[in-house]
Each structure stands twice: as C-alpha cells, then as structure tokens.
Amino acid sequence: MNASLYTYSKPTVLYNLNKIMQNKRSMVTRQIFPAVLVVLCMTAMVFPAYAQETDKDAYSEIYELILDEQWAEASEAIEDFIETEEFRRSPWSDDVRYWQCFANEKRGGDYLEEAYACYSSFPKMFSRSAWVDDTKSGMIRVAQILAKDGNPEYAIAVESMQKSDDEEVALSALYALQNIGDEKALRTIMGLYERSESERLRGKIVYILGNFDSPEVVTMLADIATSDAPTRIRKNAVNALGNRDEQEARDILKKVVTGNGDVEVQKAALYSLGNSETADILAFLREVALTSDEKELGKAATYAISNSDGRSAIEALQAILQSGAHTDVRKAALHSLGNMDDSASLSILLEVAMDNSNRELQKAAVYAISNQDDSFDELSAIFKSASSEEVRRAALYALGNLDDPKVNAFLLDVVLNHEDIGLAKNAVYALSNLDDSEEYLIMLLKESNRVEVKKAALYQLSDNLAALVSVLENETSTELRKTAVYAMGNSDEDEIVPLLLDVAKNDSDVNVRKAAISALGNIGSDEAQAALIQILEQN
C-alpha cells in the first residue's frame, strides 16, 4: 500500500499551519527578548539583525511547497534549512522537522520508514512543541501502512501503542487507526473508555466514538449520556448523538430530555435536536417549551426551534409566546422571532410591542425588532406611540443599535426637543452607540440649552480630553464644570493627573476643586496618590 492512498486535505493542512503560526508569534517574542538584553549588556557582540527574518522566509518557502504538495522539493528545502548553521536555534525548527516527517510520509515507498523514524523521534527532540500530538498520529498512520505492506514488526508496534499504559499515546494510536478505517480500533477504544479514570481522556474518547459508523456506538453513547458520568462527558455523548442521522439517536436524545437528569445535559440534548428540522422534532421541542416545569429547559427548547426555518417554526414560537408557562420562555420566543427576519415574525413582534398587558414582554419585543433589518420605521413609531416610558426608553436604546443614517437625526431631535428630560438623556446614551458619536456629542455641548443633557454628553466623552478641558475653561455653569472634572476621573490619559492637580489647587470654585480631588481618588494610580499627598501637604 502506498502512502498516497492516505491523504490530508488542504484545509486540514491550513488549519494546522494557522494553529502553529498563531502560537509561534508569542514564542518568537520570548526568544528574541532575552537576546536583546544580552546585546544591550555586551556591547562588543554584533547581533545579526537579519537572521530572524531569514529563517522565517526559509520556513515560508517550505510550507508553500507543502501546500502545493511538492513533496520532493519541500524535502530539499527542509534539508537546506536543517543544515544551515544560523537556523539551529530558530523558533521554526520544530515546524520544519514536522514537515520533514510529513513530506516523507506523503512520498511513500522507501521513504515510509524514514517518516516513521522521524515521527517517533520528534517528541524527544521537541517535547513542548504544538506538533507533538500530530507526530504521534503520524507515527501510527505510517506504522499501519508498513504493517499492511508486509512488515510485521510495525504491526507489533501499533498493537503495543494501542495497549500502552500511557493513555495519551493509546488514544493517539486509536484516533489515527479510526481515521484510516481500522475496524478493530472500535473495540479497543470502547475498552479504553471503560478502564480509563481520566475525565479529560474519556471526554476525548466520546468524541472519537461519534466518528465510528456502527450501531454499537449509538448504544454506547446512549449509555454514557444517561449514566452517572461527569456532566461534561455526558454532554459530549449528547453532542455526538446529535451529529448522527439515525432515528435511534434522536429517540435517545428525547429520552435524555424527558428523564430526570442533569439540566445542563438535557439542554445540550435539546440544542442537538434543534439541528434536525423534521416535523416530529419540531413538535417535540414545542411541547417541551410549553409544558416543562423547568424554565431553563423551556428556554433551550425555544431557542432550538429558532434553528428551523419556515412557517411551522414561526407558528411554534407564536404558540409559546401566547401560552408559555414562564415569562422568560416567552421572552426567548420573542428573541427567536427577532432572529428570523421576515414579515410574519415582525408582525408578531409589533403586536406584542404595542400590547400594554406585560411590560417585560413589550420591552423584549422592542429589542427583538432591532435584530431585524430595516426596522427604523417600526422602532421610531413605537417610541412615538407607546404609553409606557420604559418601552419608549427601550425603543431609543434599540434605535442606537441600528446601522441606519436616519437614526442620527431622529435621536438628535429627541435630545434637543423632547419635553421629557429623562428620555432626552436616554437619547444621548443611545446616540453614543452610533459611529462618529463624538461629533454629535460635542455638537450637543454647543447647541443644547439643557444642563442635564450636556452632563449626559460629557460622561460619554470621558476619553475626549480636549472636549472636557474646553468645558472646564469656557463654561460658567458649576454643574457642567464639575461633571467635566468627574469625567476626567474616568479617563486613562497620562496628562489627566497634572490637569486635575492644577484644578484641585487653583480653581476659583470650591465645589470644582472638591470634584478634582474626588476624581484623583477615583484614578488611584501612583501619580494620582502623589498628587493627593501634595494637596494635603499644601493645606
């Protein structure tokens, strides 16, 4: 058997590369930083500044060849890298060595034994490398191929690794064998689950079991899901069942939900059932949402329904909204309808948003409407017509979540002209969520004639030092100047402390000076504490 019969897909290679590249950045930093210190301390030493960039470029060339499946050319480039003296301490050395093993495996034939030796020696050479698990699997793959090609000594090696006392080694062996279709691996992995006492390892085994196409697997996963195993392992079993197509697997998940088990496991079963859009599953989820005494299960069933499309799902959510036993379950139905983004669900949400019989549901409906596209007209109409200030406030905040140019003008009009100062302030807070909000907030400082509105704008400008200083220098209102000082206390700009110290020592208004002292205390840094000590000593 040639190694070419066992193939890695490009997405798999890309995933592994991205994983290693992300981890490598921090490793490079750790290795470079001590070197920089050495250079600073030993000025006579000349540091080759180009070396780090050169080995990275060489590695980039290697993995481009790997991605292009040019195995012979990649092997040559790898040999050049390994033989280059300047690269001996490169942070990419383990990556290069792994691809050397991998390229030999892909070349097959006479290179397979080299690949096996390369994989088996890797963990000793690079024990902390992120590639260690991959090399274990690679070693098993190659050994299996060699054994089938008439090399019985490798079959013995595979068997010994399957039965290894090192559970991680055994698991790597079983996982690799499962990937290449070894039917004996199923029996062995079942046995490993039974004898293992490691929760982490048993959790991994459950995931591997889910990849076997065997009726025995469904039975074992059912036993695990309904056992007294730790919650995490049972949830893994439930998720594995949810990924299967057999009706038997779905029936087991239903039994998990209706049994007197762990709520977290039951919720996982509901979400797994939500991945199936069959009519019987939808009816089951609807029944759980409507009748379960456990609020969390009702919510989970409702959210699971939202994974389905079409009129049947909307009708189920509407029934839950009307007859759900818990307010939180009914709110979940509203949120789910908001994610469906169609005219039928919007019509239901609008009806609830204008119904004054349940304030919590009204507000939930308003926020759900904001999840739908082009909902400005509906939300602005709710603000204008709702009788409840709570609902109108919710409409303002929901408008602040929209990406619609009409929102800016609407909120500004509320801020500047609405007779209810509380709602005007709420509109300021909603405005602060918009893109380029600073421009509008600064404009309010100039154009609004209401102190409370200006104060609300100032608190949203705590990171705009220039705006705060401008108010402090130009405003005559003590309330606004105090607010600007308090807002400074929420900033992390370095120059804030000297400014506050100057205000605390020299401002003409004692209330503003007190506010500056309070702001310094709020900052709490060493510089702020030193400033407070200076004020105390001066007095």
Q: Is 213 helix (H, G, I), strand (E, B) or coil?
A: coil
Sorting pLDDT into bands at 50, 70 and 90, what band is 473?
A: confident
Sorting pLDDT into bands at 50, 70 and 90, what band is 48?
A: very low
Least confident window among 197-201, 248-252, 466-470, 517-521: 197-201
In a domain, 233, yes or no: no
In a domain, 141, yes or no: yes
The helix, strand and coil proportions of the chain, stated in percent and rounded to the nearest 5, come to 75, 0, 25
In a domain, 538, yes or no: yes
In a domain, 56, yes or no: yes
- Last residue of a domain, which of 150, 182, 214? 182
In a domain, 442, yes or no: no
**CATH number of the domain residue 5 falls in:** 1.25.40.10
- Last residue of a domain, which of 129, 148, 182? 182
Determine the Cα–Cα distance for residues 275 and 308; give it in Å rounded to an integer: 8
Range of the domain at 534: 474-539
Determine the Cα–Cα distance for residues 226 and 218; give it in Å rounded to an integer: 12
pLDDT reported for residue 447: 86
Assigned token pair, 384: 């204008």
247-282 pLDDT, tens digit each:
999 999 999 999 878 999 999 999 999 988 788 999
Of 125, 119, 79, which Cα lies nearest the Cα of 98? 119
Average confidence (pLDDT) over 307-332: 91
> Does residue 5 carry a pLDDT above 70?
no
Least confident window among 18-27, 238-247, 254-263, 372-381: 18-27
Of 179, 172, 185, 94, which Cα lies nearest the Cα of 133? 172
Region label for 8, one of left (φ > 0), alpha (ψ between -120 and 50) or beta (otherwise): beta
> Does residue 176 carry a pLDDT above 70?
no
Determine the Cα–Cα distance for residues 487 and 458; give it in Å rounded to an integer: 7
In a domain, 428, yes or no: no
pLDDT reported for residue 9: 41
> Does residue 539 carry a pLDDT above 80?
no
Contacts of 66 (CB under 8 A, 6+ apart): 13, 74, 99, 102, 103
pLDDT reported for residue 296: 95
- Tell me if 94 sits within 8 A of 62, measured CB to CB: no
Highest mean pLDDT: which of 132-136, 234-238, 356-360? Answer: 234-238
Of 298, 289, 249, 299, which Cα lies nearest the Cα of 273? 249
What total number of domains does the chain contain? 2
- Last residue of a domain, which of 182, 201, 218? 182
In a domain, 440, yes or no: no
Region label for 531, one of left (φ > 0), alpha (ψ between -120 and 50) or beta (otherwise): alpha
In a domain, 391, yes or no: no
**CATH number of the domain residue 512 falls in:** 1.25.10
- Residue of higher predicted confidence among 333 and 5: 333
> Does residue 431 carry a pLDDT above 60?
yes
